[in-house]
Amino acid sequence: MSVQSRKIELYDTTLRDGTQGEHINLSVQDKLLIAERLDEFGMDYIEGGWPSSNPKDEEFFIKARKLEFKQAKLCSFGSTARFAKSVETDPNLLGLLQSETPVITIFGKTWQAHSEKSLGISDEENAELIYRSVSFLKSEGREVFFDAEHFFDGYKNNPPFALKMLLSAVQGGASRIVLCDTNGGSLPHEVTEMVRHVLQVTGIPVGIHSHNDGDLAVANTIAALQAGATHVQGTINGIGERCGNANLISIIPNIMLKLEGTSTSVNNLGKLTQLSKFVYEILNMPSNTRAPFVGKSAFAHKGGIHVSAVMKESSLYEHIDPALVGNRQRVLVSELAGQSNIRYKAQELGIAIPEKSDVIKNIVNHVKELEHKGYQFDGAEASFELILQKELGSFKPFFEVVETKVHIESGKDAKNVDQAVLKVMVGGEIEHIAADGDGPVNALDKALRKALIHFYPEIKAIKLIDYKVRVLEEKRGTSAKVRVLIESSNGRNTWGTVGVSTNIIEASLLALQDSMNYHLFTVKAALPAAESPLPQS
């Protein structure tokens, strides 16, 4: 079949099937915000929930009447009626009508085992249930989409039964037949074959709704489109029941950038990364850094060979231009780096490296040695920049911690204090400072700030926003090395630093020192040389 210039309809079910995922919970307000954003992005249909199933979804549909969508149509979702003979009084169908959505999507059984065992009815009765449910909603002036639940399993088990149920929906007036891989176990070639057959038999637009239990939901969706389907159901970030639904965040760019002869209503694909982040944010979930297209690592190059090639021509190791989906290229520095990684980072930081010098080679070697000791510069780019600037001779530490003592007192009869005592040298002067804290690392942080504040008032702006400890040699138990990664912020920028030691206090102090040095260095770099008031140690 020809796949020339087909418009693919995007049907988002984040607000319904997405919320069937574990740990996913959206308030009415969350749902309204997401719905608006989905419309802005260019979805054709937004499934808001199952109105009669819970009060939240009922309230959502009432409030959603005030939303003014630019292009999307709101859909309510539910099942076929409980009994064929009384569709007109079925509370579920009446709830769908009361939601006042222009489109209603109902699911019905297309796997004989479900019809028999779950509903306990005959084939004829199920066909009648589907026909009467669809035609009743249709007679009330709504457009009706039919979600053929378990279609692929149903077809494998008994093709005539599965097709008969689809035809009942078509005869009832459904305008889309959506084939559901409800258990998510189908393979792409099976989907292709069955979609082709359904298109021949039904003669109306066919959609695909895949679940990800075999990690193939996106592949199965693309296979259905290649076979002629023109309607895609999925969720943002692939959230949904069990392993999730087909991820629209991957499907949409695959359609728009790769599947020739197809188009969608999305007007700015460059907003894809923002959309993914927005939904994670509302769900209060961390973004998936490895997500294709939109993840932080999706275009992050670590291996020296890759970076060397990417610097000559990005497409040598990138399947698309990251900007097309609102993402960006990144280069990581690690033990797998070559000189190209360092050159790239220097360029990114606006640092000129003298030609024909050993600077880059020295830095590569230094980074590899440090990573061998347990350092990690992914996530600690500020520590890396200090190494680079030091090697270039443009950075000298602003202070030196000459001595550290940390005192921990706990127990029934103890004072329960944690205290750090530091001797810090700044510009030839020694400061001897003690500070109490909530835990030894907090005491250390406070003591260091106290020692430095009157030399460098700028450090007041630094806030610790994340602190992570990782044991590096687990088998050595409490004598193992630890790596501390700290994320700091000055309200405008954030930066990461790292420290490694067998002593968790020392590892923390190293990361803290890098954080303060980095901040002071950037403050100094922002000033003309003659005006820099900062002493160096």
Ligand X SMILES: CC(=O)SCCNC(=O)CCNC(=O)[C@H](O)C(C)(C)COP(=O)(O)OP(=O)(O)OC[C@H]1O[C@@H](n2cnc3c(N)ncnc32)[C@H](O)[C@@H]1OP(=O)(O)O
Partner whose footprint covers residue 209, from ligand PYR, ligand X, none (CB < 5 to 8 Å by kind) = ligand PYR
Q: Which is nearer to ligand X, 147 or 385 (CB)?
A: 147
Stretch of 106-114, 363-371, 497-505, 527-535 contacting ligand X, by CB under 6 A: 106-114
> Rounded to a whole number, what is the distance in angstroms from the first to the last CA of the chain?
74
Environment class of 91 (CB within 10 Å of its CB; exposed 0-12, middle 13-18, buried 19+): exposed
Binding string, residues 109-148; x marks residues near ligand X by CB under 6 A: x--------xx-----------------------------
The nearest distance, CB 241 to ligand PYR, in angstroms, is 7
Rounded Cα distance between 416 and 431, Å, is 26
- The closest residue (CB) to ligand X is 53
Q: Which is nearer to ligand PYR, 231 or 483 (CB)?
A: 231
Neighbouring CB atoms inside 10 A of 503's CB total 14
Distance CA 21, CA 241 (A): 4
Using the structure block, give the residue that is written with the tokens 């959502």: 60
Residue 83 C-beta: closest distance to ligand X, Å: 9
**x/- site string to ligand X, residues 154 to 193, per CB under 6 A?**
----------------------------x-----------
Site for ligand PYR in 296-355 (CB under 6 A): none
Interface map 22-51 toward ligand X (x if CB under 6 A)? ----------------------------x-
**For ligand PYR, which is the closer residue by CB, 180 or 447?**
180
Q: Does 182 bind ligand PYR (CB under 6 A)?
A: yes
Q: What x/- string results for residues 354 through 373 when contact with ligand PYR is judged by CB under 6 A? A: --------------------
Please identify, using beta-carbon distances, which residue of 182 and 202 lies nearer to ligand PYR. 182
In the complex with ligand PYR, which residue's Cβ is closer, 161 or 521? Answer: 161
DSSP states along 18-70 = GGGSTT----HHHHHHHHHHHHHHT-SEEEEE-GGG-HHHHHHHHHHTT---S
Evaluate whether 228 touches 196 at the Cβ level (below 8 Å). Answer: yes
In angstroms, give the least distance from the CB of 180 to ligand PYR. 3
Shortest distance, position 439 Cβ to ligand PYR, whole Å: 48
Work out how close the CB of 485 gets to ligand PYR at its nearest, in angstroms, rounded to a whole number.
Answer: 40
Q: What residue ranges in 52-198 does DSSP mark as E strands? A: 73-79, 103-109, 143-149, 176-181
Which CB, 248 or 294, lies closer to ligand PYR?
Answer: 248
Among 41, 61, 107, 152, binds ligand PYR (CB under 6 A): 107
Q: Is 39 in the site for ligand PYR (CB under 6 A)?
A: no
- Considering only CA atoms, which of 534, 531, 526, 473 is closest in space to residue 502? 473
Q: Give the integer Cα–Cα distance in Å for 350 and 340.
A: 15
Contact flag: residue 79 with ligand X (CB under 6 A): yes
**Which amino acid does the sequence have at 324?**
L
Beta-strand pair 418-426/400-408: antiparallel
3-state helix, strand, coil in the chain (%, to 5): 45, 20, 35
- Cβ–Cβ < 8 Å for 177, 201: no
E-only strand ranges, 321-480: 330-331, 400-408, 418-426, 429-437, 463-471
Write the CB contacts of 427 (distance below 8 Å, at least 6 apart in sequence). 455, 535, 536, 537
Q: How many residues sit close enough to ligand X to count as binding (CB under 6 A)?
A: 16
Q: Which is nearer to ligand PYR, 241 or 514 (CB)?
A: 241
Residues 69 and 116: their CA atoms lie apart, in Å, by 41
Query: By beta-carbon distance, which residue lies closest to ligand PYR?
Result: 180
Asked if 209 interacts with ligand PYR (CB under 6 A), we say: yes
Residues that bind ligand PYR (CB under 6 A): 17, 107, 147, 149, 180, 182, 209, 211
Binding site for ligand X (CB under 6 A): 17, 20, 50, 53-54, 79-80, 82, 107-109, 118-119, 149, 182, 241
